[in-house]
Chains A and B, each alone.
Chain A
């Protein structure tokens, strides 16, 4: 399984753009990159998934360079409600190999 490495914590202020980078040097050809968000006392929530280049949805953007050894989750204009733990996962589209959640990045947004 491809191991992921991401910062333990990050701090930001309301209205700023936040970029969280995840390293996955051993990513396999069939692996997709998926990001989840988790609020305290809740289960994780799917944010975005991508394979290469850039993916954007109503919540975030995901940037993946050509070598796919890293990815960056971009949250535009964060608010206090974006304070959460963000997990980067790498796995097959079909999920035949189980996803592995690391410790995630704890994002604290200040007023």
Chain B
């Protein structure tokens, strides 16, 4: 999706290893979000940030951490990956005019073995 990049596109990770999923936006949106989507299911919110310097926990935050040092970047870190974290991870932004209108990145497909 234009304006939001995620890296890597996909990754296979050994259990117990750490990894950081990157999300960068160039739309200068205040709010950013991380979701996970398991096969055949809807999205679940992991963490969010309403503005640079602040973060909050979503529905499924355990095992994940985030930081928001600036407006553009919102990395998601898995400190010690477990197989249940196998999922597709989507980063999203919202302008703040309406945080219900979110813009999603292309996703990162993560497999933890």
CB within 8 Å of B: which residues of A? 32, 34, 41-46, 49, 87, 89, 91-96, 98-104
- Chain A residue nearest to B44 in the complex (CB): A101
Among B11-19, B69-77, B79-87, B97-105, the one that faces the other chain is B97-105
Q: A41-B107, A43-B90, A43-B107 are in contact. Are A99 and B98 (CB under 8 A)?
A: no
Where the two chains meet, the residues of B that have a C-beta atom closer than 8 Å to any C-beta of A are 1, 31, 33, 35, 41-45, 48, 50, 56, 58-59, 90, 92, 94, 98-107
Let me know if B104 and A44 touch, CB within 8 A: yes
A99 touches B42 (CB 8 A): no
| B59 close to A98 (CB less than 8 A) | yes
Report yes or no: B45 in contact with A99, Cβ–Cβ below 8 A: yes
Quick one: which of A96, A100, A103 contacts B45, CB cutoff 8 A? A100
Contact partner of B94 among A43, A44, A95, A104, CB < 8 A?
A95
Report the minimum CB–CB distance from B19 to chain A (whole Å).
20
| CB-based nearest A residue for B107 | A43
CA distance A100 to B102 in the complex (A): 12
- Give the residues in chain B near A93, CB-CB below 8 Å: 98-100
Min CB–CB distance B101 → chain A (angstroms): 5
